[in-house]
Amino acid sequence: MHGAHVEGTVSDNAVVQDSAIVYGTVSGNAVVKDNATVYYLALVTDDAVVKEHQRICCGVVTTDLLRYKQWSRAMFAELGVTAVCGKALLCIPAYGVEEPNVFFINDEQTVTIGKEFIATAENGFSQGIDLTTADIIEENGWLTSHMIVCLIDVNDIIDVQEGLVVVTKFVPICVE
């Protein structure tokens, strides 16, 4: 398996290499490489390529989600989040309150509930901004005072890897 760690099933012509980890099932002509991980509830098959820092947690992957920018499918495979009519709900931790409905998302930048936030170089997010699920925020111990629920459009996704969805813009809709 070329340096990979496999506890799951690898069959047919499937290849697992580099520092990839497989707990689930990889079959067909699928390739899992780099630092990618396939978890227990996932099946990677056909001509799928799972690479870089993808964490496939659930569902069936049959293609290269990153190469073909299949963001809705990638979001489901990584986070279990389903887009409806091209929209999805994700979260971002808030680190304090500036005023009612205005929350800090880092040391300097704030977002306002109901007002679209656009990631730019001027606000320090030239590479987009990371959103994820409430469960992942809690699992990673990102201790914050609040969690902001955000509405995204899948057309605004730049990348989906490591349990994060990188977007160019979102609308904060409520706080938990």
Least trusted range by pLDDT, from 52-56, 113-117, 142-146 = 142-146
102 or 3: which leads in pLDDT? 102
What's the CA gap between 139 and 5, in Å, rounded? 23
Handedness of CA 115, 118, 122, 127 (dihedral sign): positive
pTM, whole model, 2 decimals? 0.94
Q: Write down the mean pLDDT value for the chain.
A: 95
Percent of the chain with pLDDT over 90: 87
Residue from 89, 99, 108, 107 nearest 147 by CA: 89
Q: Domain residues of the chain, as ranges?
A: 5-68, 87-175
Tell me what pLDDT residue 2 has: 64
